Amino acid sequence: MKVPEISRLYHISKEHIRKIIRRFNEEGMASLKPNFGGGRPRTFTEEQRADIVELAQIPPKVLGLPFTSWSLAKIKEVAEQKKLVKSISVETIRVILEEANITYPHTKTWKESNDPDFAAKKNESSNSITNHQKKGG
């Protein structure tokens, strides 16, 4: 096929087709291998990534923080406060830690009471729930 025919058939510019043909003539079959650039370059240096991994492995209490375990959001906050990075997303932290074989579960929160009768009251409320049976069936 001629270059104009290929161009019309595959909706590719004639210049691009000529470039491919020229490259094939110079390099042979190797020119047909895809030449991917590997995606977007990493935003953070290896040193920054290592600092985040190291931070995640230090117990928060050792750093004088008022909590006992890390969440991804807390790692983000502390990494930015300590200027390990200017800004970073929770998802990027998850990826960095995953590459280092460190995983964190989603944070679960619950409320506690300082009421001394809390446990008894909590059990009372669960006893007041009534199971309703379906009618018919």
Q: Is the pLDDT of residue 83 over 60?
A: yes
The domains of the chain are located at 3-32, 46-99
Question: 93: pLDDT confidence band, cut at 50, 70 and 90?
Answer: very high
For the stretch 37-60, pLDDT in tens is 777 778 899 999 999 999 999 999
pLDDT of residue 103: 78
Claim: this prediction has a pTM higher than 0.85 = no
- DSSP string for 32-99: GS-----SSPPSS-HHHHHHHHHHHHS-GGGGT-S-SS--HHHHHHHHHHTTSSS---HHHHHHHHHH
pLDDT of residue 112: 67
pLDDT of residue 38: 72
Please give the Cα distance from 107 to 1 (Å, whole number). 62
Structure tokens at 137: 């069936």
24-33 CB burial, b ≥16 within 10 A, e <16: eeeeeeeeee
Please give the Cα distance from 124 to 111 (Å, whole number). 17
94-126 CB burial, b ≥16 within 10 A, e <16: bebbeeeeeebeeeeeeeeeeeeeeeeeeeeee
User: Which amino acid, residue 87?
Assistant: S
Question: 105: pLDDT confidence band, cut at 50, 70 and 90?
Answer: low
